[in-house]
Amino acid sequence: MTAGDRTGGGVPGDHGPPGRLRLRMESTLSSATSSSINGGGPEPSRAVVFDIRDMAVYYGQNRALADTSLKVYRNLVTAVIGPSGCGKSTFIRSLNRMNDAIVGFRLEGQVLYHGHDLYGSDANRVEVRRRIGMVFQKPNPFPKSIYDNVAWAPRNLGMKHRLDERVERALRQAALWEDVKDRLRDSALGLSGGQQQRLCIARAIAIEPDVLLLDEPASALDPVATASIEELMHDLKHRFTIVIVTHNMQQAARVADRTAFFSLETIGPDRFGTLIEYGDTETIFRGASDSRTRDYVAGRFG
C-alpha cells in the first residue's frame, strides 16, 4: 500500500457514488471469520464504510497520530476513546476532511470511504461533507430560527422540495419535534443545551447523510440531556453509521457496538497518538488484550 501525502484537493467526481443505492451496492462485505485489527474478536459480517489504512496525521512538523488502521462498519456505533491529546478529534475530523482548513495539516496513508479514496485527487470535498455529517462537543446552532437551522443545509444543497416535511422528519429523528413544534420560528439560541445539541444533530441529519460523526456530543450536557443523546444513538444507528468520540467510559459501554482505544505514545522527543486496540465493545471493556487498554478502561491511567 502506498502512503503518500494527502493535502488539499477536491472529493469523488466520476468515481464518487452519486446516490445512496449505488453506495450500498459498492460496499464491500468483510469476512465474518477474519480476525480484527489489533485483536478484539472477529470482524462483523457487515458492509465496511471506512477502511482506514496506516493513517498518520501531521500538524506542521508534529505528528499527532500514527499507525492507525481500522474498519468502520455500517449501522453500528463505533466509539473512539483514549486520554486527552491522543488524537481522537484529529482522527474523527479526518473522516470528513474537516482538518483540511488547518494550515500545516497533512495526512498519510489512506481513508477509503465505501472503497473510494477520501483524499484522492478525484475526491470532491463538498460531496464528502454532504455524505458525512458532523456534530461537535459544544452545541453550535446558528443564530437563526429553529426551522432555519434545520433547513439550512437542505436549502444550500438545493433540496427545497417538501422542505417542511424534511425539517419535521429531522427534528423527529433527533427526538426534538415535540419540544419545538410550536415554536419553530423562535431563535435556536433560546433552547437548552441538550435541546441545542439535538438541534445540531437534526441539522446534520436533515440532508440524510450516510455517516454521522460526533465529537464528544454530550460532554457539555447534564445527565438527563446526556441520556437522551445516548438514547438517540440507538435509534439513529438504524439509519446512519455513527462514530462517536467520548471521554465517558460508561457512555462508550452503553452506546457503542465497537470501540477503538487510542493512546499517547512517546518515542524520544516525539509524542503521538496511535490506535492500540479495536474490537467489539464487550471485549475492549472486559477482555482487552493490551494492558494499556485494560488500565485505561479501569480508570488507572489517562
Q: Which residues would be at the binding site for Mg ion (CB under 5 A)? A: 89
Among residues 77, 86, 111, 180, which is the contact residue for ligand ATP, using CB under 6 A?
86
Closest to Mg ion by CB, 16 vs 82, is 82
CB 78 within 8 A of CB 19: no
- CB 240 to Mg ion: min, Å: 21
Site string (99-138) toward ligand ATP, x via CB under 6 A: ---x------------------------------------
Which cell goes with 237? 444507528
Q: What is the x/- site pattern for ligand ATP, positions 39-78, by CB under 6 A? A: --------------------x----x--------------
Binds ligand ATP (CB under 6 A): choice among 46, 71, 74, 88 = 88
Cβ at position 180, least distance to ligand ATP in Å: 30
CA–CA dist 221, 226 (Å, integer): 6
Cα–Cα distance, 16 to 29 (Å, whole number): 19
Structural contact between residues 71 and 115, judged by C-beta atoms closer than 8 angstroms:
no
Give 191 or 252: the residue with its C-beta nearer to ligand ATP: 252
Pair 77, 255: CB distance under 8 Å: yes
> Which window, 87-95, 139-147, 185-193, 278-286, contacts ligand ATP (CB under 6 A)?
87-95
- d(C-alpha 109, C-alpha 225), whole Å: 38
**Site membership for ligand ATP, residue 260 (CB under 6 A):** no
Residues in the chain: 302
* Nearest one of 233, 194, 214 to 134, comparing CA atoms: 214
For residue 263 the three cell numbers come to: 493512546
